[in-house]
Structure 1
């Protein structure tokens, strides 16, 4: 019996798949990289389990809607909780890619019995399993993307390049910032799809199959399958992320450069054509991209933007290049004539029918950075501002220089993938310098080329360390290119430089108590925006002013109108807080972070920067029931034992300039105060800047604005117990504002109360969310 059992086990062992030591080692290393990426990105959980920033709340609402109503429901969704009274036709202002993927994965996992309910809580959102899934989704996707980076790096320069590039991406500060806990936004799937597309497209054009002796053989070769998958991936990317047009144009530029370098083939033409045929077919089904896609495919119409015309131009150039190779002169001339005629007819049709659309302002600002100064709303968004070259070093550390080394080695390699990577790195560097948000585009090429540079630089030194002298004969004696001491010194130097970036950090000259440290840790170990109450700092614990205020609104105000004309709660605030109001408070807002209705944002800015008489007219126009203001101040100790408020820290007291400039025009904030809202300084020294010797005077126009009154009424009430306000101005001077009288507004809710003011833990900053009820005059 024992022998029989032994024989059975022996046979079972013989059919066991053989796993080599190198495969096990590689699997272990990739698993460790995944764990590192996951662990770093989940660090914000120290401040609570919340979505971060603002846009993720919009994406969450869409995901929930698709789970509950399906894609057809999303396509017909007219959301009246935002941009009241017009509402928001979601399909024209949102990309379906991220919420559709998240809803699909959630539905599958839920069907398999994997639920995302957490401990009982009073937070209305954390009781929703869809919300809990959306919070962890970016952490998982960011970690998986690092594995995709391994395969791309492996194709570029081998196993070592793949492993190092995956590790570098896992610890890249810019990428961590966009894939950390709660950052449920387009970039979550954007970089993942981008890297996957490059991997597939490179596979589709690399090498030539034995079947590719003619066009038919090339079209039906196995590599066309890679082109199909590349097209599907890029199509999904276009349906998910606005930056996809950068990838589209970059791919066309890559094909054009191959054409200039005379590296084209039928394989490139077929892969390019198949990929973009699929992309265009998918993009035509995305309403936001201009296809006017209601519910049936027959009504689909295309709009072509000027930047995408380059894609078609490159296709025709590749086609001309293949026609040029036809040996029969008559046949070649006929093909040329047919293609040119078709091209002219297509351009004339597009031009005359008005199908050619200009590039959007946000994307033009990347190409021409100076255009942002003409668009105040674009300029008011911090992540849309230009970044300095010093920012690159601050973000990437030693990788800034390793990138240049990698570019050198990639140029020497001159493979299709190395050329694509060079184009990717150079164009992403330009984009990142134009718009600081696009630093994330640089994360992948910096990781790839840094890994390539290190591996190619250290390879001869490592080989030199492995070599041994053979004492047998001169014939077989190995001569080292470098001595052992030199090899050890160079390898140690690279290790120390990496140590400076990942252990000490790029701001090592700053005192440790000011938060210096490795950039990836500072980026990862930071609270979500709402758990820090929107403050531009890192408190020691959760700051619940916004969470408490929005929960109070959700539970204590009447429901919002289901359609224009109905009674219900309508809240006016600056556009920054719109997504929070609709998603967390479940109440109607006038504007949100989509910023697509410039006119309405101008009206809100005009309301805040006008006196109460003018403001009430604007509010009546939109049937507003409540006005929300957010103000941040520091508690500065006073000689009498109390304290004075020093306004500043990221609230509306820091945003009023944009309200004025958006409402009235560029530089129109100065009439409301050239020092701060409600105060002017007299330049005694004529040095064109404020200093302690200058005199401060009240600015009547600024102090009469609705925003000034609402902010200081609240601050005075919570600091002094009555709306009698003092304020500390720049330079430490204290100014008495006096009693604030509100004509048409009354307190509904303040997140702080007199006698129990609670600064953010570990700071002196107080976040104050103020909700006022609008009291319209009888006439």
Structure 2
């Protein structure tokens, strides 16, 4: 057996295994919780020893998968034959209209793995995103290798497999549908291009059907699958226009019929097969109405920003970061790796961005330029017979010059169309950055493959090879830390120079490897920095709070809070919730925000009772009478905080409702048998205050709200004695180059505190509007200090440690301030239930 021939045949498999191992290893790094101090990791680890999921949609997917395994349906029950979720948006719950692929795939993996061992569903859910997300290296490598060589394929596999914004949604512990959003589109495009390039009609048809089947699978993962069909249609149409009317390529004539003509259209035939087969399959398995909805949704998806406000109520989608239009480039630790929230940083860095654009240009250059066949050289130059086995350009694959030109143009048009359409999608929200990064990464791989070919053929002397190697090594090291950079520079350059001097025939491969690494290094660095700084989305404080609710409340108890943790509440407490990630874009954003922001405790309690007992029925019923959501909100605001009889009188006498209308509204706004509820207040809500206050202060006429915020100290501080005065200083936030903090002074049994704004040079001390000082459980001071000031201050002291919270004066008496910061001081409407680190639970008094 010839080992070399065997290895040559196995080479693509070995490369794929290596690429997958790299992508999975970086994603698996998240399990180590690099963003958490060593002594705090247990706080972010669940009872099963695994870190908590990193974001809240993971808990929704997890609960649906549990339902499917235990009940055979995604929901809690069936309503008229339709799966229904009674935990979400309570009451009345909502139908489970959710792409089921993540549930089916995870359930299948769970059952398969448990044939060989004992694995919990959470273990499978924790790791499956990293596994499936890493699979995208396979089609990326094969797709680019087809038109360039292994160097290009490897570069494409690494860049696409480690797109920072994609890794951020597919590392271990991130259990969401994003795992399918690159590997499946890549398979669609790979099968489709293979269908175009195939010469045998059977292979051409088989690849087109494989592409259609992949689209069918993708349609069960994300409604946005239709976007990729649109790209393929646009690509084929534009390619045909260019080839027929710009390049004046004459179509072959003389076919006996339309069917024979169609089967000989190498680009059009696969598209027809794909659209017909895919349309039929999706219509049969998913419903033709859903297919039509996906097509119309393609056009409405381009209007995300324009439709941010479609009703009189505020739209919470404006607070979702993924729907914000991203900056092009900003921030970051080096020019090669800008901030990952930007377009350039999100796709893998400036190197990838530039290489991706040059990839299209290089395809066009290859199309217009004849192949360069390197001549044999003497001396220390590259020998033609010693060409790297990684290099298999088209001319060595039995491909004619005409076919080569066809492929180059085909890939160039596909990359250009794909880049333009996905680039336009990015202007509608940062969630589309990974969509744009895929063609950019493939194109960068194509450029890399052509670049190393050019360098192999053009750079021949020892000095020039060493110079290219040195530059490549510097670029490799730039995205990494200084210590790692020194090791890379010393090691890589040393090895490269030593071997290039001793063995001239491997000079070119070393240079080409370094160039390839230089292109992918920023992407690898960005992905690794992402997974090595992970902090889970929740902790023991929240989880144990939910476990307390599960053990100490009735099954009909409703859990209420801002929407972010709703999915977690439903899983950990096994109780219905009013507001979660699947229902945030509803009027409940306004009412929950108002319940937290108002200083009227009876109004806040009335809002929570209304939502937990009747949901939306009160304001929906009242809307039928007023035809004005603003007027409805005004009426309910005036009546929810007062007894039923008084509320009826206000509705009738002040707002002109009939007695029958008022009684109907009161049935829902002032329920006779209100459902028990638990209000969850947590430390994360301090940072989210600008959003829930924005919705809670919504002005229905101006269609805007006011953002108010809390600025807690970054840590606790101990007192220091200075000139017979005890001084305590805290730092609360930083604005540009200035620090905002507090200075607390204790002297002669008198405690005063001021807000300090300044830097190392000057400090300006400002009196707060209201000052509240609490020592242990003793209220030391609670008074208005400066009636004109815009900021208020709370000082909390315990065991000789002090923390402070600066806030907008509008929040000093809010329900959130009273219940979370002041522990329920000076209010009688809510009763304290339970406390865990960073979490307080309240119910109606």
TM range, smaller chain: 0.5 to 0.7
How far residue 236 of structure 1 moved from its aligned partner, in angstroms, is: 1.3
| 1:632 equivalent among 673, 676, 683 | 683
1:393 paired with 2:354, answer no
Does residue 594 (structure 1) correspond to residue 575 (structure 2)? The answer is no
Comparing 66-75 with 200-209, greater Cα deviation is found at: 66-75
Per-residue displacement from partner, 1:346-400 (whole Å, max 9, x unpaired)? xxxxxxxxxxx56686x2345xx45547673111111211111102333422212
Determine which of 517, 525, 532 is the counterpart of 2:532.
525
TM-score (norm. length: structure 1):
0.65
1:247 aligns with 2:247: no
The residue number in structure 2 matching 1:657 is 693
Among candidates 144, 148, 152, match of residue 153 of structure 1: 144
User: 1:620 corresponds to which residue?
Assistant: 609
Does the CA contact (< 8 Å) of 1:95 and 1:286 recur in 2? no
Tell me the CA shift for residue 486 of structure 1: 3.1
In the TM superposition, what is the alpha-carbon distance from 1:668 to its structure 2 partner? Answer: 4.3
Is the Cα contact below 8 Å between 1:572 and 1:627 reproduced in 2?
Answer: yes
Which shows bigger deviation, 253-262 or 38-47? 253-262
> Equivalences for 1:38-77 in 2 at 5 Å?
38-47=24-33, 48=45, 49=50, 50-70=52-72, 76-77=82-83
Residues 664 and 746 of structure 1: CA distance in aligned 2, closer, same or farther (over 3 Å)? farther
Cα distance in structure 2, aligned partners of 1:630 and 1:80: 23
CA contact (8 A) 1:228 1:274 kept: yes
CA deviation map 1:250-297 (0-9, x unaligned) = 12221221232246963433322221233333433576xxx4xxxxxx
Question: Could you tell me how far apart the structure 2 residues matched to 1:195 and 1:40 are?
Answer: 21
Map 1:625-704 → 2, pairs under 5 A: 625-632=676-683, 648=686, 650=687, 652-660=688-696, 668-670=704-706, 696-697=768-769
Q: In structure 2, the residue corresponding to 1:550 is in which secondary structure? A: helix
Alpha-carbon contact 1:573-1:604 (below 8 Å) kept: yes
Could you say which residue in structure 1 is the equivalent of 2:490? none
Provide closer, same or farther for how the CA distance between residues 175 and 727 of structure 1 changes in structure 2, counting only shifts above 3 A: closer
Contact kept, 8 Å, 2:315 with 2:586, in 1: the verdict is: no
Deviations 1:119-150 (A, max 9, x none): xxxxxxxxxx1121111101111222212321
1:364 equivalent in alignment to 2:264: no
Instruction: Report whether the alignment pairs 1:492 with 2:488.
Output: no
Residue deviations 1:593-626, cap 9 Å, x none?
0136613333323333342222222222233533
Stretches of 4+ moved more than 6 A in 1? 72-75, 504-508, 674-677, 734-739
Contact 1:554 1:587 (C-alpha < 8 Å) held by counterparts: yes
2:844 alignment counterpart: 774
Residue 249 (structure 1) shift: 1.9
Greater Cα shift, 221-230 or 59-68:
59-68
**Does structure 1 conserve the Cα–Cα contact (< 8 Å) formed by 2:29 and 2:532?**
yes
Deviation of residue 45 (structure 1)?
A: 1.2
The aligned runs of 1:465-544 (5 Å cut-off) are 483-501=461-479, 518-530=525-537, 533=538, 543-544=539-540
**For the residues of structure 2 that align with 1:97 and 1:523, how far apart are their CA atoms?**
26
1:436 aligned residue: 430
Find the residue that maps to 1:415 and give its secondary structure: helix
Counterpart secondary structure, 1:588: coil
| Matched position secondary structure for 2:55 | coil
| In 2: Cα distance, 1:464 partner to 1:524 partner | 39
| Structure-1 residue corresponding to 2:165 | 174
Indicate which of 76, 83, 88 corresponds to 2:94: 88
Distance across 1 between alignment mates of 2:680 and 2:482: 40
Q: Equivalent of 1:420, from 411, 414, 423?
A: 414
SS at match of 1:383: helix
The answer to whether the 8 A contact 1:632-1:653 is kept is: no
* Distance of 2:482 and 2:808 partners within structure 1: 34
How much does 1:27 deviate?
3.8
Asked if 1:271 corresponds to 2:264, the answer is no
- SS state at 1:770 partner: strand
Deviation by residue 1:178-234 (Cα, 9 ceiling, x = unmatched): 11012111110121111111111111122543x5xxxxxxxxx33111111101101
- Structure 2 unmatched runs, 5+: 34-44, 245-250, 252-263, 330-341, 368-407, 487-523, 614-674, 713-756, 759-763, 772-781, 783-793
Matched, 1:383 2:361: no
RMSD of aligned residue pairs (Cα, Å):
3.9
| Other-structure match for 1:22 | 8
TM-superposed deviation, 1:546: 1.9
Residues in 2 aligned to 1:580 and 1:256: alpha-carbon distance in whole angstroms: 47
Give the superposition deviation at 1:580: 0.6
The answer for the alignment partner of 1:321 in structure 2 is none
- Distance in 2 (CA, whole Å) between partners of 1:631 and 1:194 is 39
Unaligned runs of 5+ in 1: 1-13, 117-128, 212-220, 292-299, 309-356, 466-481, 509-516, 534-542, 560-567, 634-646, 678-689, 704-714, 753-767
Deviations 1:547-598 (A, max 9, x none): 2222222233222xxxxxxxx1101111111111112221110021013661
Does structure 1 retain, via aligned residues, the 8 Å contact 2:541–2:836?
Answer: yes
Counterpart secondary structure, 1:571: strand
SS of corresponding position for 1:53? coil
Distance 1:665 1:191, change over 3 A: farther
Residues 385, 464 of structure 1: CA spacing in aligned structure 2 closer, same or farther, 3 A cutoff?
Answer: same
Pairing partner for 1:408 from 340, 361, 374: 361
Q: How does 1:688-767 map to 2 (within 5 A)?
A: 696-697=768-769, 727-729=805-807, 740-752=825-837
Greater Cα offset, 622-631 or 169-178: 622-631
- In the alignment, is the contact (CA less than 8 A) between 2:141 and 2:157 conserved in 1? yes
* Contact 1:461/1:491 (8 A) holds in 2: no
- Indicate the larger mover: 739-748 or 262-271: 262-271
1:296-315 → structure 2 map (5 Å cutoff): 301=289, 304-305=292-293, 308=295
What SS does the corresponding residue of 2:19 show, helix, strand or coil?
helix
1:87-106 to 2 correspondence within 5 Å? 87-90=93-96, 92=97, 94-106=98-110
Q: TM-score, normalised by structure 2?
A: 0.61
Partner Cα separation in structure 1 for residue 106 and residue 28 of structure 2 = 18
Separation in structure 2 between the aligned mates of residue 160 and residue 280 of structure 1, nearest angstrom:
37
Are positions 1:578 and 2:563 aligned together?
Answer: no
1-structure distance, mates of 2:417, 2:125 = 34
SS at 1:175 equivalent: helix
Distance 1:25 1:503 in 2: 33
* CA pair 394-402 structure 1, distance change in 2 beyond 3 A: same
- Does 2:534 match 1:549? no
Q: Distance in 1 between matches of 2:549 and 2:710?
A: 34
The residue that corresponds to 1:8 in the other structure is: none
Are residues 426 and 223 of structure 1, via their aligned partners in 2, closer, same or farther at CA, if it must alter by over 3 Å? same
Aligned pair in 2 of structure 1 residues 546, 360: CA closer, same or farther (>3 Å)?
Answer: farther
Partner of 1:446: 440
Write the distance in 2 (CA, Å) between the matches of 1:661 and 1:200.
Answer: 52
CA 101–404 in structure 1, closer or farther in 2 if over 3 Å, else same? same
Secondary structure at 1:108's aligned position in 2?
Answer: helix
* In 1: Cα distance, 2:827 partner to 2:363 partner: 66
